[in-house]
Amino acid sequence: MEQLQCLDPSVQPRVSDHIPQIIDLIKQILDNGYAYKVDGDIYFSVDKLPTYGKLSGRKLEDNRAGERVAVDTRKKHPADFALWKAAKEGEPFWESPWGRGRPGWHIECSAMSAAYLGYSFDIHGGGMDLVFPHHENEIAQSCAACDSSNISYWIHNGFVTVDSEKMSKSLGNFFTIRQVIDLYHPLALRLFLMGTHYRSPINYSDFLLESASERIFYIYQTLHDCESVLGEKDSTHDNDSVPSDTLTTINTFRGEFIASMSDDLLTPVTLAAMSEPLKTINDLIHTRKGKKQARREESLKALETTIRDVLTILGLMPTSYSEVLVQLKEKALKRAGLKEEDVLQRVQERTDARKNKEYERSDAIRKDLASVGIALMDSPEGTTWRPAIPLALQEPVTTP
C-alpha cells in the first residue's frame, strides 16, 4: 500500500478489541425492539425496519432463503440475521449477558465505525459484493440503535477481471499486488486502476499494464524535460506573466479536473484531460515555434505546477521525476529479460550498421528490441531508449 502511495488509515481497529462496544450496541438494538433472543443467539428482525433494503433496492419478498446457508427455522423471518451467536465447540468465544458466544458477521462494522466516526459520517466503502447483505445489514443495525444514523456516500468498487474472465483462484488467474509490482512500477499500477471508474469492473491484462507503464513514463518524462529546461533557478510566476493561451489551457484543465472529480470521482476523465497541458509542454520544449514563444519559461512553470498539483491529489506524484524514470526503465528491462548494457550494446550495433548503410540489419535490431518493449529514439545527440508496449501485444487479434 505504501508503494502504491495509498495514505495510511488513521485507525485500524480489531474486532477482538471491541467486544464491549459490540455488546453495548446489541443491547441498544434489543432495548429498541429490533431484535430477539433464541437459545443464546440474538437475531435482528428485518420486519421491524420498514426501510430495510433501501441501499440494495431489494424487497424482503425477493430474499430467497436457503440459497447460501441452511434455513434456521427458529428465525421469525428467513432474512433475519445474527447479531450474536452462542458459542460452539472449538470456536472462539466471549462472555456476554446472553452467555458465551461471538459477534455476528455484520455487527462489528456498525460498532467500530460508531466508536471512531459516530453514527453519522461521510463515506463508507467496500466491494460491490458487499452491498447486500453486508452493508444493508449494517444500515439496519446502526439505524435500529440510533435513528439519526446516516452515511452520506456509499462507495462500492467493481471487480477485477483477467483478460475478461473473473479473477479467481479456481481458474488459476489469481495473483497479488506484490506479483504485479515485481514487474510493473507501483505508480503504473495506480494509473492503470485510475484509468477505469472505480464502480466499473476493471479488466487486467498485460497490454493494459504495458499501456499504463508507457503512459506514466510519458507523463514523468515530459515533466522531467520541463524541469530540465527551467533549471534550478527560481522561476516563480503570477497569472499576469503567463501568456493568455497558456492560461486558457490551464484553466480548461483545472475546470475539467474539478468537474470530473466532483462527479463521483471520474478519474478516467481527469487523466484524459491531462493530455492537452502535457502536449503544450512538449510543444514549448521541442518544437521550433514553441522554443521561440514569448514568456516560454513562465508558461512551462505554470503548466508544470498545475499538473504537479493534480498528480499530488491523485497520489501519482513521485519523489523525483528522474528517479521514477530510472525505476520505470529498470522494470521494463526486467520484463524484457535484458540488462542496460545489453540494450546499449544493441544500440551501438545499430549505429554501426547505419554508418555502414546496413539498413536491413539496423531495422532488424530496432524491431527486435521493440518486440520486447524497448523503443529506440534517434536525435542529433544520438540514440536513446524508453519503455514501450511490446510489439507482440500491439498486434491486432483477428478471428477467422
Q: Report the share of the chain in percent with pLDDT over 90.
A: 86
> What is the arithmetic mean of pLDDT over 62-87?
80
- pLDDT band at residue 396 under the 50/70/90 scheme: low
Secondary structure of the chain: what % helix, strand, coil (to 5)?
A: 50, 15, 35
Interaxial angle between packed helices 206-230 and 275-286, expressed in degrees from 0 to 180 and rounded to the nearest 10: 50
Q: In whole angstroms, give the CA distance from residue 123 to residue 231.
A: 43
Q: In whole angstroms, give the CA distance from residue 207 to residue 395.
A: 10
For residue 226, what is its C-alpha cell? 520541463
- pLDDT band at residue 68 under the 50/70/90 scheme: low
> What is the arithmetic mean of pLDDT over 223-246?
82
> What is the arithmetic mean of pLDDT over 293-309?
96
User: 43-47, 158-162, 278-282, 294-298: lowest mean pLDDT where?
Assistant: 158-162
- pLDDT band at residue 239 under the 50/70/90 scheme: low
Contact 312, 252 (CB under 8 A): no
| More confident: 69 or 17 | 17
Q: Closest by alpha carbon to 369, among 358, 385, 381? A: 385
Asked if residue 229 has pLDDT above 70, the reply is: yes
Number of H helices, E strands in the chain: 15, 11
Q: In whole angstroms, give the CA distance from residue 249 to residue 247.
A: 5
Q: In whole angstroms, give the CA distance from residue 220 to residue 125.
A: 31
> What is the arithmetic mean of pLDDT over 238-258?
93
Angle at 50 between CA 47 and CA 51, to 5 degrees: 125
Cβ neighbours for 245, distance < 8 A, ≥ 6 positions apart: none
Phi, psi values for residue 381, rounded to 5°: -85, -10
> What is the arithmetic mean of pLDDT over 29-56?
97
In Å, what is the CA distance from 240 to each residue of 243, 285, 302? 8, 22, 11
> What is the arithmetic mean of pLDDT over 105-120?
97
Q: In whole angstroms, give the CA distance from residue 174 to residue 389.
A: 23
Cβ neighbours for 134, distance < 8 A, ≥ 6 positions apart: 105, 106, 109, 126
pLDDT of residue 171: 84
